[in-house]
A and B are shown apart, each in its own frame.
Chain A
Amino acid sequence: MSLGDFLLFIIGAILVNNILLHRFLGNCPFLGVSQRMDTATGMSMAVIFVMTMAGTITWIVQYYLLVPLRIEYLQTIAFILVIAALVQLVEIVMQKTLPALYKALGIFLPLITTNCAVLGVAIINISEEYDFVNTVVFSFASAVGYSLALVLFAGIRERFALARIPKVLEGTAIGLVTAGFMALAFSGFAGLASH
């Protein structure tokens, strides 16, 4: 892969095939934590951290454990256990070594286990047959794309406090419609990289 291809690969993962708005992964926390900017940024950081690690470790588990033992059909169970254990481990290690960061991200970490974007990226890495470097880069870039969409969306949603929204559309309904228009804006990037 040349450098140009590599850059396009990264841009494709962040903007064009945005994991949230294009692939529909991780929508529950997207709508859940985007009411306020500070929770959205906290969640974004936690996702970037966990998704990159989870993508890398599940790749290793797949090719050095499941494939040699010929138990690839246990992929789903193995991956979700790896992710759950990883999240727990990150939580404990962070609490002991980086208390300041733990205070900021603490409450978001348990939520990430059920964030389908993390498991989704792990499975995409395998199904697209990425090599190790591509896996690490794709996991990180997807997480950055997720964070970008989440933080932008939280910024828009904070303004809703000042807007007059029809009663029937309050809360999640208007959130979904807004997300739709954001997805429309993101689909404008489609010409950047044809992937």
Chain B
Amino acid sequence: MEKLKQFFKNPLGVTGFILILFWLIVALFAPVIAPSHSNNSPYMIERIGFSSLPVPPSEEAPFGLTSGGYNIFYGIVWGSRTAFRVGLIVVSSTLVIGVLLGGVGSFIGGALDNIIMRITDLVMSFPFLIAVIIMSIVLGKGIDKLIIALILFGWRNYARVMRSEVLSIKERDFVSAAYSLGMNRIRIFLVHIVPNSIFSVFVLASLDIGTMVLISASLSFIGVGAEPGYADWGQMINFSRNWLLGTIDNPMIYWYTYFYPSIAIFSFVMGWTLMGDTLRDVLDPKMVKR
């Protein structure tokens, strides 16, 4: 409770919390805010006409239409669901995988630990983004496949952090005490080791949700992520690429095609970054004085 109070005393943390709360409400009430008028899946961006030029904001489409008649407002509202889905699914799965691999490995030690750490090193020795690009090519287009690709390579940091935490926790007196009481190893691992070493993993996770959304947006942007027309912020920026420079006499004429999606990604990622930073300051007593 004390920590929670500390969290909400920090203006940066509160800003982050409000940003995330805002997007959460948008995501939950998407069908009310931007009702779908077609029989297609609501996650496909609504199209109003098929004009090849972007159309400025109007009553019908408050943020305008990008080329192909895609409704920007609709895409952003439903894209928030995509963002939460990518962030939460990827981070929760990678967290579990990483905690188990890193935690069990270092708890048991010996050859198992060595093998797991060598695999982690191997995965770490390759740029995450490029690994995910290759993997999502192999799996094919679609946001679900992108999520799988992100999970496959995303667990490595958790494994590393968890391992170093467990290495120090397992030498503590209360663990020896549990052993001498005759507790079995699985119980010691789950009851004593994991709860005491998981905080730094949580901090990493809250920062990672933003990062994962950022990476999936980047991939959609270069055209290897979501399928065309799917409500995804990265893809909406991809749509706007041809309209960036406007016309010769008015370079800002199509500003709405990239302005709104950029703000959406930026505020979402920043919300998580602020929350993660504040969480770290609150949970790690060493960091407070900085």
Asked if A and B bind, the verdict is no
Task: Tell me the B residues contacting A by CB distance below 8 Å.
Answer: none
